[in-house]
A = this chain, B = another copy of it.
């Protein structure tokens, strides 16, 4: 490894002169600066960030703590953040939790030890006390999910509106018995989406029994598929289905296909998010497009601002973006005669 000292020795200068030359200090003569820069380039000198940080230089790393990068939702966020942060010389550390609070804690400890400049987190349902403590002194914001203990900076989508909108679309078509396959209510997103679902039914004057909600791990394909069978096997099965997460939508679509359900004749379906391929499924999936890119962009800008503003400005900041319904072929009015139980 090449240090300023190596350069200094080679040029018979002091380390401080070398350091100043590299920092383009006005007190150093042009000639010396040129010599130093030339030597540095030749020797392949790269300043040691660890040493700089010990001298109080601000960290340039930002931690991104998410459940699973394979989820298109999160990879979009990662991409957008990476792109924006990179322009200001920041680096992104990727930490996956798989919704396990202990993994979340371990990651936050590591990030803390690395003295990250900031953290963007999609928190688990109930973060560990210690996780809260680690996060507190850091510049940080929550994404999508929002846990009260983790501060007042949050960027997300309007989960309530999104599910209300997809459910209302079904109600408008005349469905009076609608199934919901969503994420656990202990997750803030899960409970908001469930609320949106119920709210749409209520606003339409439908009784509570009109909604058949199933909840489970939002990333579990197994749960999603089982939920579909469960709902369709009911004595009076629903005539329509709404989903409450991208992964669950994928699972539901797979299950419906393998069961050979005739969509939208037998059953109408509204998805969540608009992944590539959703338009190809069956008659084309009616779904809600989510402004994930915009959300991530907002968040990246906020973080950059937050990191460059000296004082620990912890003003509450909330950004809620709405989703928009995309109507394709998977939804239609229910058949006059209710579907036979299977």
Contacts and interface: CB of A to CB of B under 8 A. Distances in A.
Interface of A: 1, 44, 46-51, 53-54, 60-61, 64, 68-70, 72, 75-76, 78-79, 82-83, 86, 89, 91-96, 103, 106-107, 109-115, 133-134, 250, 253, 257, 275-278, 280-282
Contacts of A95: 82, 86, 91-92
A54 B50 contact: yes
Given A46-B113, A46-B134, A47-B113, A79 B70 contact: yes
A110 B92 CA distance: 11
Contacts of A276: 250, 275, 277
Contact of A82 (B82, B96, B111, B278): B96
A6 to B, nearest CB: 14
A167 to B, nearest CB: 24
Given A49-B113, A253-B280, 6 more contacts: A48-B115, A50-B114, A86-B96, A257-B280, A277-B277, A280-B282
Integer count of this chain's copies in the complex: 2
A201 B276 CA distance: 32
Nearest to A57: B50
Contacts of A277: 275-278, 280-281
A50 to B, nearest CB: 4
Query: Taking each of A44, A91, A93, A96, which has the highest tally of chain B beta carbons within 10 Å of its own beta carbon?
Result: A91
Nearest to A114: B49
B134 A114 contact: no
A114 B49 CA distance: 6
27 contacts: A44-B134, A46-B112, A46-B113, A49-B50, A49-B113, A50-B51, A50-B54, A50-B114, A50-B115, A54-B54, A61-B93, A69-B69, A69-B78, A75-B75, A78-B94, A86-B95, A86-B103, A86-B106, A86-B107, A89-B110, A91-B114, A92-B93, A92-B95, A93-B94, A94-B94, A250-B276, A276-B277
Contacts of A68: 79
A257 B328 CA distance: 15
A79 B275 CA distance: 19
B54 A79 contact: no
Given A257-B280, A276-B277, A282-B280, A69 B82 contact: yes
Contacts of A94: 64, 78, 82, 92-94
Nearest to A133: B44
Nearest to A47: B113
